[in-house]
């Protein structure tokens, strides 16, 4: 009889629950016992885990967040922390671990795998900045939440001939801002991957008004070189000269808390099932991701050694589209 464990780590993402459900139910279908670890690597180090049955994951596929809880666990970055986790896993006779999460989580998964424990990662982060998966769990839902906000802000912006700046998540990566900006018809998109000085943003907004637009929308990634707070201050200082009013909306964690849409439920289900299939076949030390419409595996060593790039030609396209 095989016994495995599953945990969710780092920032939660809509669809994590669907992935847990898939790991638990496909694991049970193979005749295994499946443990759920509470609060990510913290729970793993403290041995905070319990056996999950099919009914324990009932009614969660449509829920955002994660039923297991998540955490950022700096102690797991130390060898001592990881040894504690290994002791807990061995003490319970657990033979495989599924880690659902993004970059930080998969770095932890790789470290554990390097210590000889069978680990399989599942690609999940709303940032879509994880190498080894074209799209990750939670991105589609987060994007739709951002879009809904942009659409609403556009309505009120038009009524008042205002400019609106919307900050979306993405600490190191502009994917969400870029895609939300294109799909939301933004006049300017500010992302960490390309410098966009405040003066240039201001002149693009001014030109948008001069072309007869009733509003101007700027989508800013939280990790951009000039973040929303800095840009807001700049616009306030130069308001008279610029000749327009700017309002700022920071979407923050609203983007992470939604119910997963169909895409994320299906993606999470396929990736979760892919993870138990890997463990069954003795394949570990890999990330289960989604590439070219298929479930794929990429060695965790490769995942942590690369930074995923976004397609910057889309930023040039966005400029053409905002005419
Ligand atoms: O990594 C996902 C993410 O939502 C980032 O976009 C954001 O910068 C970060 O997590 C926020 O982290 P926390 O929830 O710990 O504040």
The DSSP secondary structure of 151-218, one letter per residue, reads HHHHHHHHHHT-EEEEEE--SS--HHHHHHHHHTT-SEEE-TTS---HHHHHHHHHHHHHTT-S-EEE
- pTM for the structure as a whole: 0.96
Ligand 1 atom with the shortest distance to the CA of 102: 1
Nearest by Cα to 116 from 85, 143, 147, 141? 85
What sign does the dihedral 224-225-228-229 (CA atoms) show?
A: positive
C-beta of residue 20 within 8 angstroms of C-beta of residue 260 = no
Mutate which of 42, 72, 123, 127 to test ligand 1's pocket (most atoms within 8 Å of Cβ)? Answer: 127
From the number of C-beta atoms within 10 Å of its C-beta (0-12, 13-18, 19+), residue 176 rates as buried
For ligand 1, atom 8, the nearest C-alpha belongs to 171
| Calpha distance 108→114 (Å, rounded) | 10
Residues 6+ apart with CB under 8 A from 283: 120, 297
What does the alpha-carbon distance between residue 125 and residue 256 come to, in Å, rounded to a whole number?
Answer: 9
Cα 162 to Cα 80, 217, 301, distances in angstroms: 54, 9, 48
CA of 4 to the centre of ligand 1 (A): 28
Report, as an integer, the average pLDDT of 155-170.
91
Is residue 33 pLDDT above 70, yes or no? yes
Superfamily holding 140-257: Phosphofructokinase domain (3.40.50.460)
Rounded CA-CA distance 83/89 in Å is 10
Does domain 3-138+260-305 fall under CATH 3.90.25.10? My reply is no
State the span(s) of the chain assigned CATH 3.40.50.460.
140-257
The best mutation among 11, 108, 253 to test binding of ligand 1, ranked by most ligand atoms within 8 Å of the C-beta, falls on: 11
- From-to residues of CATH 3.40.50.450 in the chain: 3-138+260-305
Contact 69, 38 (CB under 8 A): yes
pLDDT in tens, 257-309: 989 999 999 999 999 999 999 999 999 999 999 999 999 999 999 999 999 99
Nearest CA to ligand 1 atom 11: 11
Do 285 and 119 meet the contact criterion of CB atoms below 8 Å apart? yes
Please name the residue whose Cα sits nearest to atom 3 of ligand 1.
11
> Could you tell me what percent of the chain has a pLDDT over 90?
83
**Distance in angstroms (rounded) separating the CA atoms of residues 189 and 195:** 11
The one catalytic residue among 12, 127, 129, 140? 127
Atom of ligand 1 nearest to the CA of 104: 1
Q: Show Cβ contacts of residue 109 under 8 Å, excluding neighbours closer than 6 positions.
A: 97, 99, 101, 119, 120, 121, 287, 300
Please indicate whether residue 140 is annotated as part of the active site. Answer: no
Alpha carbon nearest to ligand 1 atom 15, residue: 11
Kindly indicate the confidence band of residue 323, based on its pLDDT and cuts at 50, 70 and 90.
Answer: confident
pLDDT at res. 63: 98
């Amino acid at each position: 009889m095989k016994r495995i464990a599953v945990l969710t780590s780092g920032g939660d993402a809509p669809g994590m629950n669907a992935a847990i459900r898939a790991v638990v139910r496909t694991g049970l279908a193979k005749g295994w016992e499946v443990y759920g670890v509470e609060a990510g690597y913290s729970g793993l180090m403290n041995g905070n885990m319990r056996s999950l049955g099919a009914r324990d994951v009932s009614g969660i596929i449509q829920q955002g967040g994660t039923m297991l809880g998540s955490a950022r666990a700096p102690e797991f970055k130390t060898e001592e922390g990881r040894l504690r986790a290994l002791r807990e896993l061995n003490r319970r006779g657990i033979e495989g671990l599924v880690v659902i999460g993004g970059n930080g989580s998969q770095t932890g998964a790789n470290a554990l795998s390097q210590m000889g424990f069978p680990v399989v990662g599942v690609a999940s982060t709303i940032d879509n900045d994880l190498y080894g998966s074209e799209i990750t769990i939670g991105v589609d839902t987060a994007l739709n939440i951002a879009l809904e906000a942009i659409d609403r802000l556009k309505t009120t912006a038009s009524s008042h001939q205002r400019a609106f700046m919307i900050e979306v998540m993405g600490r190191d990566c502009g994917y969400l801002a870029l895609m939300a900006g294109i799909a939301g018809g933004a006049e300017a998109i500010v992302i960490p991957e390309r410098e966009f000085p405040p003066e240039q943003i201001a002149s693009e907004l001014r030109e948008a008004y001069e072309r007869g637009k009733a509003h101007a929308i700027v989508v800013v990634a939280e990790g951009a070189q000039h973040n929303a707070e800095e840009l807001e201050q700049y616009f306030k200082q130069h308001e008279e000269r610029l000749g327009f009013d700017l309002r700022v909306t920071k979407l923050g964690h609203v983007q992470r808390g939604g119910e997963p849409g169909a895409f994320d439920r299906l993606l999470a289900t396929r990736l979760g099932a892919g993870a138990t299939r890997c463990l069954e076949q003795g394949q570990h030390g890999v990330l289960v991701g989604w590439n070219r419409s298929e479930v794929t595996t990429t060695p965790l060593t490769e995942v942590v050694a690369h930074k995923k790039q976004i397609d910057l030609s889309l930023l040039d396209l966005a400029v053409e589209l905002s005419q």
